[in-house]
Amino acid sequence: MKLLYTLSDAEQSVFDSSKSGDDSERIMYCLPYNYEDGQVVKGKLIITNLFMYKISEGSLVRKFDFKEMTDFLVESMLGISAFMAKINGHLERVCYFMPGRYLAQYTVIAKGCKRISDAIAKDQDPGDPVENKELDNFCEKCGAPLIRGSKICPHCRKKGGSIKRLWALTKGMRLILMFPVFASGISFILSFILPSIQQRAIDGYMNNPDVTSAALGGFIAIAVSLIVIDLFQRSMSVLQTRLTSVSGTRFIFLLRSVVFEKIQNLSTASIQQKSTGDLMSRLNNDIFTVQSFMTAQIPDIVNQILSFTLATVILLVVKPELCLFVFLPIIPVCLIARRFWAKIAKFSRINWIKSYSVSCFEQDVIQGERIVKCYGREKTAVKDFKKYVDIRTKYWTHSSQYSTTVSSILGFLFMLGSFIILYYGNILVFHGNISLGELYKYTAYTSIIYAPLRSFLALPSSLATAFTSINKITEILDEEPEISDINLPIDIRVEGDISIKNITFGYNSYNPVIENFSLEIHQGEMIGIVGASGSGKTTLINLIMRLYDVNEGAIEIDDVNVKDISQHTLRSSMGIVLQETHLFHGSVRDNICYAKPYATEEEIIEAAKLANAHDFICSLPQGYNTIIGERGFSLSGGERQRIAIARAMIHNPKIIILDEATAALDTETEKMIQDSLNQLMKGRTTIAIAHRLSTLRNATKLAVLDDGHLAEFGTHSELLKKKGIYYKLVMAQRLHAVK
């Protein structure tokens, strides 16, 4: 995170002239601010170890003395944020800035300022500026936004690099990949020969009054060669299409598996940042775009450029003045065509968006069909839908009318050059300067020149799309997993002592979810974790599982830092049942032995019995072989949870983590599972999160979390005596139970 922006010369001189003159004064932080009285300004907030300077547009706006300031905070508002300070006991807004760009920086700086003012109050030196390793969302060099969820600036990144990276993947299939270029090269040469032969046919026979029947043999030879060339060209194009589809599928399969493998190795943090939808779209849309770019577009572009230059060169050599006529109309025509083209592209984008919004609406309403029915809103839904469809239809008609008209006009414009050549050529033919056959040949060449022009016009936008996708893919491939094993990870036999030593952690490091948190859990204990939603319970568990690394402090298992234990050992010693139970597509059996693929049938049944799932599994039509998961047999929430518990039990874990694991169960089932869990928990460390306090009645100790801090810790009766947060919760739930 950049906390020290550089000053421009003007700003530097303003700062120099308003400095206090104290030799120990040094700049700690410097951040831009954006607004003053509702207008945009280019301002800088300079923070030294003694003062705070607000400089805007080459003049000092205000100077703040740290001796007078106490508290610092950031206020986030709609479209604007403010940095505030308590000056002489009164809270005041110091400056306004853009939240999306500087909110994180100012939040960090608020802490830094507090440190400075505290140090000054005690007459000490504030020390070094605070640091934050989090990355900004904006390019350091040019300030443009990075591609979402990535660290790549589309403007600064060298384009060659990404393509090279992808090209390296094509090893072993380059021959197939390049064949289309080769094939079209051949058919392209043929298309140059063809006009010459046709010229012969016209000049030598068709347009020759002296021709005799004796020459018929020659004519037939020409006719046959024309047919052969045509046949050859066509078979080449068939071969080319077939090979392109082979290389295309191969490439996409390869790329997909590489990307998928990479995603599996990434840390939870970076995956969470990207969101499932984003990753799915990279796996589907972006890979598809890249594939068509690499296997179809690149060969095509190479071809087009080749044929364009070659035809131009030939024409230049044979008849330079004709070339002039070809190119004269091209420039204005291209300029006009570009405008039309841009508009057509815009229309097609609007069209896409409108039809997308129709399908979004459909999906939204159909998914919520039960709610629509419950509230009797069917008619409104239909009305709204018609509105969406109407807009879509309007645009569709409009744009298709426009594009048909315009593409005819464009077609005509592109032909203009040919008309001029035809006119000029005819004059030449009349004067006997060239033959009719030659004229035919030249017009054929002009059409070869004109053909690629249209696709050249669309090239910039299609290249931009392709590069965006390429960047998104290579970004995943280049990413280093944040959480990885150290060089020589330790394989220990986990016994189950967990000690959490003064940890601080936040998903955004400037906004900690857990702060200065310590907890000792001994082997065999059951720790219940209680607290309001958002107090950091699930985060704590994620840290123990090392799905994320702590920012400060350490988590130790059996006195070994979790960072030093191999991830495989760590996770295989834990049995985890999470709030949202995801079951994979497959049989009940597959799901239960997910963590231990070679479990015996006996073990599977034992685990299922422990989870109180055996009975209902037996009543399924195919018993343990019933297919469940998203597309399979639908189970109730409680049944899914019980299978998840069985899955966690099968590999005999030393540490059991239950995150609201029994929330979807009825009281009776919960009690049954509790009893079997109690059997199982003997000798194992258990960490359980629950809102229903009765779930935790067997807990050795309870930890109450409040806003990321350990508020209370002790046994049930100790905490009741304390009359704190836990007492409140117990009282409230007891009252509910009575009612």
Partner 1 sequence: MSDEKKINVSAEENEEALVDALFAKRISYDLTPDNSRFFLSEGGLISMELSVPDKEKEFFERVIIIRSFPISNPTGFLSVRAPDSRGSEKGEEIGIIHDINDFPEETVKIISEELDKRYFIPEITKVHSIRDKYGFSYWDCDTSSGRRTFIVSNPYSNIRLLDDGRLLVEDMDGSNFCIPEKKKLDNSSQRKIEAFY
Interface with partner 1 (CB under 8 A): 35, 38-40, 71, 73, 75-82, 84, 86-88, 90-93, 96, 98-101, 103, 137, 144-145, 147-148, 154-155, 346, 349-350, 353, 356, 464, 467-468, 727-728, 731-732, 734-735, 738
CB atoms inside a 10 Å sphere around CB 247? 24
Both tokens assigned to 386: 């018609």
CB atoms within 10 A of CB 58: 12
Diameter of the chain measured on Cα atoms: 123
Using the minimum distance from each CB to partner 1, give the nearer residue, 450 or 726.
726
DSSP lists the bridge partners of residue 131 as none
Q: Which two tokens stand for residue 508?
A: 């955004």
End-to-end CA distance of the chain: 53
Q: Which C-beta is closer to partner 1: that of 137 or that of 268?
A: 137
652-667 as b/e: b if 16+ CB within 10 A = ebbbbbbbbbbbbbee
* Cβ 353 to partner 1 shortest distance, Å: 5
- Min separation Cβ 722 and partner 1, Å: 13
Are 679 and 526 contacting, i.e. CB atoms less than 8 angstroms apart? Answer: no
Q: How far is the CB of 290 from partner 1 (least distance, A)?
A: 14
Question: Among 496, 573, 537, 539, which Cα is nearest to 696's?
Answer: 537
Measured from the CB atom, the residue of 142 and 239 that comes closer to partner 1 is: 142
DSSP state of 58: T
- Torsion region of 632: left, alpha or beta (phi above 0 gives left; psi -120 to 50 gives alpha): beta
Q: How far is the CB of 345 from partner 1 (least distance, A)?
A: 9
* CB-CB neighbours of 604 under 10 Å: 20
Which CB sits closer to partner 1, 350 or 599?
350
549 half-sphere exposure, CB direction, 13 A CA radius: 15
Shortest distance (Å) from residue 354 CB to partner 1: 10
Q: How far is the CB of 283 from partner 1 (least distance, A)?
A: 17
**Nearer to partner 1 by C-beta: 74 or 519?**
74
Shortest distance in whole angstroms from residue 370 CB to partner 1:
26
* Beta carbon nearer to partner 1, 76 or 207: 76
* Distance separating alpha carbons of residues 44 and 6, to the nearest angstrom: 10
* Residue among 143 and 683 whose Cβ is closer to partner 1: 143
Cα 197 to Cα 438: distance, rounded to the nearest angstrom: 10
Neighbour count for residue 33 (Cβ, 10 Å): 24
Amino acid at 71: D
Give me the least distance between CB of 517 and partner 1, in Å please: 18
Q: Alpha-carbon distance 733 to 739, whole Å?
A: 10
Q: Which is nearer to partner 1, 76 or 502 (CB)?
A: 76
**Which lies closer to partner 1 via its Cβ, residue 488 or residue 735?**
735
Beta bridge partners of 714: 702
Backbone angles phi, psi at 660, to 5 degrees: 55, 45
Q: Rounded to the nearest 5 degrees, what angle is found at the Cα of 615, between the Cα atoms of 613 and 616?
A: 70
Least distance (Å) between residue 731 CB and partner 1: 5
Closest separation between CB of residue 64 and partner 1, Å?
12
Q: In degrees, to the nearest 5, what angle opens at C-alpha 471 toward C-alphas 509 and 160?
A: 125
CB of residue 450 to partner 1, shortest distance in Å? 28
Nearer to partner 1, 90 or 379 (CB): 90
- Tell me how far, at minimum, the Cβ of 136 lies from partner 1, in Å: 12
Q: Which is nearer to partner 1, 139 or 599 (CB)?
A: 139
In angstroms, give the least distance from the CB of 356 to partner 1. Answer: 8
- Give the C-alpha distances (Å, rounded to integers) separating 457 from 297, 345, 409, 616: 14, 11, 16, 65
Q: Which is nearer to partner 1, 31 or 555 (CB)?
A: 31
Query: DSSP code of 585?
Result: S
- Shortest Å distance, C-beta 88 to partner 1: 8
C-alpha 27 chain-centroid distance: 37
- Are 554 and 543 within 8 A, CB to CB? no
CB of 147 to partner 1, least distance (A): 7
Q: Where are the alpha helices (DSSP H) in 319-435?
A: 320-327, 330-367, 369-374, 378-430
Q: Which is nearer to partner 1, 81 or 292 (CB)?
A: 81
Q: Specify whether the CB–CB gap between 41 and 35 falls below 8 A.
A: yes
Kindly state the smallest distance separating residue 732's Cβ from partner 1, in Å: 6
* Three-state secondary structure call for residue 465: helix
| Cβ proximity to partner 1, 155 vs 242, nearer residue | 155
Residue among 615, 590, 616 nearest 604 (CA): 590
Strand order in the sheet with 59-65: 59-65, 51-56, 39-48, 27-36, 90-97, 81-87, 69-76
In the bound state with partner 1, the residue whose beta carbon lies nearer, of 394 and 697, is: 394
Spatial distance between the Cα atoms of 26 and 165, rounded to a whole number of angstroms:
45
SS3 734: helix
Closest separation in Å from C-beta 109 to partner 1: 15
SS3 of 606-663: the string is: HHHHHCCCHHHHHCCCCHHHCEECCCCCCCCHHHHHHHHHHHHHCCCCCEEEEECCCC
* Residue 174 vs 723, nearer CB to partner 1: 723
Helical spans, DSSP H, in 201-329: 216-265, 268-274, 276-281, 287-292, 298-318, 320-327
CB 243 within 8 A of CB 176: yes
Q: What is the DSSP letter of 488?
A: S
Q: How far is the CB of 63 from partner 1 (least distance, A)?
A: 17
Residue closer to partner 1 (CB basis): 21 or 38: 38
- Sign of the Cα torsion 344, 348, 350, 354 reads positive
Q: With left for phi above 0 and alpha for psi between -120 and 50, is residue 584 left, alpha or beta?
A: beta
The smaller minimum CB distance to partner 1, of residues 79 and 217, is found at: 79
